[in-house]
A and B are shown apart, each in its own frame.
Chain A
Amino acid sequence: MNTRLKLSSVFLAALLLSGCVSTSVLVEEKLDLGTGVTVTHATAPIVLYRDNSAYAAHARDYVYVGPVEINRMGDYSYYLWLGIWSTVSDEERSYQRDGFESITLFADGEPLQLELVGWTLESIGVSEPVYVKPVASAADAYYRVTIDQIRVIANASEIELHAGTAPVRVYLMWDRQGSAHASMREFVDRGLFGATALHRP
């Protein structure tokens, strides 16, 4: 293993440790300083995956799915954030986003047709990233949803995502994700209203 690889290992170990020593809650609320809106989101997104064996045996494409609430002086808007990334270096950079303009999310078989509102923070009217990107090259995508649609997703035991048409790319749930579901349910139950009910007198 050469020097670059050793340095890389140290860096990754530091990342790993920094993650393990942190504590967090299921729903985060913060003020977006650039726009003055209050942003609430689940901390743990749901992980979907798709085997990309046509590219390489171990290649997988991933999509992270997380809800976002934007509170503009009491005017609430809801979005789904998708973090789209792959374990392999995709030389065709456009491919990553293809098909995600219009997606169908199946929550326990219930189809939710979602239309992209944008690829940048501007589309949801904030100035700071809401979710932590899984990898720097991940594409962010935002979809307008209703709170009921988020509720459908939060309560679903199986989630599947269809993107694209020629061909259709199907993403499945990585596994039953206790934290992600708890986080999303917490978002639906309490994160909607800014002030949450826990730990208050």
Chain B
Amino acid sequence: MSADDASIESIEYDGESPGDKTLRISFSEKTRFDVRPGSDNNSLRVRVFLEPAADSSDRADATASTRLQRRPAVPGPDYVINLESWQRPPVTADMPRIALPKDKRVFVSEVEIDGATWYRVRVGNYGSAEEAARALAELRAQYPDAWIDRADAGTGSRTSDTPVPVPVEPPVPVAASDETAAKAAELMNDARRAMTVGELSRAVQIYTKVLQMPSNVHQPDAQEFLALARERNGQIAHAKAEYQRYLDVYPDEEGAERVEQRLAALLATAGTRRSTTAAAGGAPAGGRNALTDGWNIRTFLSQYYRRDANQVNDEEEIVSQSSIYSDISLDARRRGERFDFSARLTAGYRSNLLDDTRPSSGNDLRLSYAYADLADARTGLRGRIGRQTRNTGGVLGRFDGVNLTYALNDRLRFEAVAGRPVYSTARDPADSRVFQGLSSTFAPFANNLDFGLFFIEQEIDGLTDRQAVGAEVRYFGDNQSLWSIVDYDIEFEELGSLFVQGSWRLPANFTVTGVLDRRRSPFLSLGNALVGQQLESFEELRLFFTEEEIRQFALDRSASTTTYTFGVSRPFSPKLSMNFNASISSIDATPESGGVTATPDSEYSYYSADVVASSLFTEGDVGILGFRYAVSGTTDVYSTTIDTRFPVGRGWRISPRLRVDYREINTDQSTQWIYTPGLRAQYRMGRHARFELQTGKQFSTREMARSDQDRESWFVYAGYQLFY
């Protein structure tokens, strides 16, 4: 007799309960057995008395008689289907008469909701949500109100499960309709072709689709090939989970042994052991909950060439830029059950191909990221040290330093940060500023509300450069969203910045949006006192001015800017949408002080409308027609933009575009027409390479009182990106 014939459903050991450690063997059907201690007092012997099933003994292999029924991966199948719920204990007549696979059972669980006891008639367990969904699709005909629940949901269906005698009919294979089977076969052929030509992502999508169909004979193969496609696609964590899912859902299929070998090979390759928490059908993502992976190293390389040239009135063409930009990024990661380590190095180099001796036009080496990061899943601690970037907690972008995080749970985190701001990735951080800060993010009131609070202090040459407190709130509802960030400098007793963005969906699919952005520009800090000064360092500034004077200069140089933006958008059909926007910006005047001249206030506003339409000429294309009117103190600009995008084949995207501007220049009463045609093409080659070419030319004619001025300029960007 094979273990399969013994109908052992699971063998579980619960060692978590003090004083109540239990070994539990579950059978999928009524079984006679006895239990005896082993002769050596180190073992337990369970004798199972079953009539061998005639149809299964033939196919039991030689090893099956000694093989343990494979234990469901801990914490076990996660999903059940709730068929019906009663407010009285169900009797036998209430039990469903349905055909179930051998590894599924009907059971009753109790749950108390609002003081009332409900008895749930359920089927389970299912190793994955997808498997449960497929089963649900078949059960819906008999049980239209059936629904899926997690077996470990708060109602504790697993712990309170009460198996009951159920008139389960002998298992019969669920026959798919001819139509379903034919469609599945067609998809399998498509997927096979995709695999053959290396379109692995497409194959993954097709196999997934087959698995989402009603139960059919192709699904075991689809599951296996889905895993294989992911493996070939380099998605090892996914592949492992998909192989594991195959073993959970189709343990008796002829491919089970082969799949087991492949999974073992993957695990061996990773040089790791299989975790006791390896999730059968569980999320392949995240990794922490699934498997212990080895090093994962990724490299990104991109290069592009950029050339800008212009010509005025038939004079000689002047090339203003001819450079090659090269960027490389190395990411290394090692994930364990407890620790997650990652490191990143991102650097770029600009090669100036022009014979130019200006100081600003030389070659540049840029270092954007150089950090190591370690996270401890057990304690919730995480630390990152090195060059990094952050825009929350009062930190203003890139810095060299350390960031420590303690996550109490998903909803509450505390962070501490200290470092030196990096204002340029191309130069050594000669600035003497250092900062330290504390922050917290939490979501105490509602599911879709996040709050953040911070305190930050920054010093420059021993003086307080900025000392700020601030808050952030994010809210996303079904019909509204709100995001607000406020930064108040307690040293200057001035508002540093206020950003509020809100959107609201109204009836008839109108969406109105608004943004308020008020800030000091540059961002309020004592170091701003250097702006406009002939001195080279803050240290020199301190030699000539008192601290109070420097503080006043900093305020004087930090102009208040305010921008209000409003918009309305609405789709008029699935292929056509429109949006209207209006924006008003103002910059306050700054006074003369410290030898720096005053600046007048200014205002800028624009009004725009865009129409977006798809499938104009071919399926998948899109055309965007935009109008814009912008007005400032010196110029009124009317613009029209036509932007079209066409998919060509599977890899190409072509985007011809045209922009026409008409300018009225108030300072000399001249007018100017500007025509800018352009073309952008992108080609994706497989998974690891992309190419892009963008070129455009601008023709402009300016009609002035005494003469006209014609100008032409053109540009080209061409580059590629590789990652592996």
Contacts and interface: CB of A to CB of B under 8 A. Distances in A.
A166 B655 contact: no
B365 interface: no
A49 B153 CA distance: 35
B18 interface: no
Contacts of B511: 129, 132-133, 136
Interface in A158-175: 162, 164-168, 172, 174-175
B719 to A, nearest CB: 3
A119 B285 contact: no
Given A20-B482, A177-B474, 10 more contacts: A24-B447, A24-B477, A87-B499, A132-B478, A132-B479, A139-B612, A144-B205, A176-B441, A182-B411, A197-B148
Contacts of A192: 129-130, 133
B308 to A, nearest CB: 13
Contacts of A28: 478
Interface in A44-93: 44-45, 47, 49, 51, 53, 57-58, 60, 74-76, 87, 89, 91-93
B622 A76 contact: no
Contacts of B120: 201
B201 A113 contact: yes
A129 B474 CA distance: 21
A38 interface: no
Given A16-B484, A91-B639, A146-B205, A102 B653 contact: yes
24 contacts: A8-B564, A19-B504, A22-B477, A43-B447, A92-B659, A93-B628, A93-B643, A97-B645, A132-B480, A133-B511, A134-B481, A134-B513, A136-B568, A137-B608, A165-B682, A165-B721, A166-B302, A166-B304, A168-B300, A178-B442, A183-B447, A189-B150, A196-B147, A200-B85
A20 B213 CA distance: 41
Contact of A12 (B564, B719, B721): B564
Nearest to B724: A111
Contacts of A93: 610, 624, 626, 628, 641, 643, 659
B579 A137 contact: yes
A136 B690 contact: no
A133 to B, nearest CB: 5
Interface of A: 1, 4-5, 8-9, 11-12, 15-16, 18-20, 22-26, 28, 34-35, 43-45, 47, 49, 51, 53, 57-58, 60, 74-76, 87, 89, 91-94, 97-99, 101-102, 104, 107-111, 113, 115, 117-123, 125-129, 132-140, 144, 146-148, 151-157, 162, 164-168, 172, 174-183, 188-190, 192-193, 195-197, 199-201
Interface in B602-639: 606, 608, 610, 612-615, 620, 622, 624, 626, 628, 630, 639
Contacts of A23: 446, 477
A9 B630 contact: no
Given A8-B514, A189-B129, A177 B375 contact: no
A151 to B, nearest CB: 5
A181 B505 contact: no
Contact of A152 (B285, B479, B502, B694): B285
Interface residues of B, number: 158
The secondary structure that dominates the B interface is strand
B310 interface: no
B130 A147 contact: yes
B583 interface: yes
B381 interface: no
A57 B523 contact: yes
Contacts of B522: 57
With most chain A CB atoms within 10 A of its CB, the pick from B111, B407, B682 is B682
B441 A76 contact: no
A178 B411 contact: yes
Contact of A11 (B478, B514, B521, B624): B514
Given A8-B564, A93-B641, A128-B571, A16 B500 contact: yes
B208 A148 contact: yes
A178 B645 contact: no
B641 A94 contact: yes
B567 A137 contact: yes
A129 B571 contact: yes
A85 to B, nearest CB: 9
Contact of A119 (B133, B149, B335, B622): B622
B465 interface: no
B415 to A, nearest CB: 9
A19 B502 contact: yes
Contacts of B136: 193
Contacts of B242: 148
Contacts of B118: 201
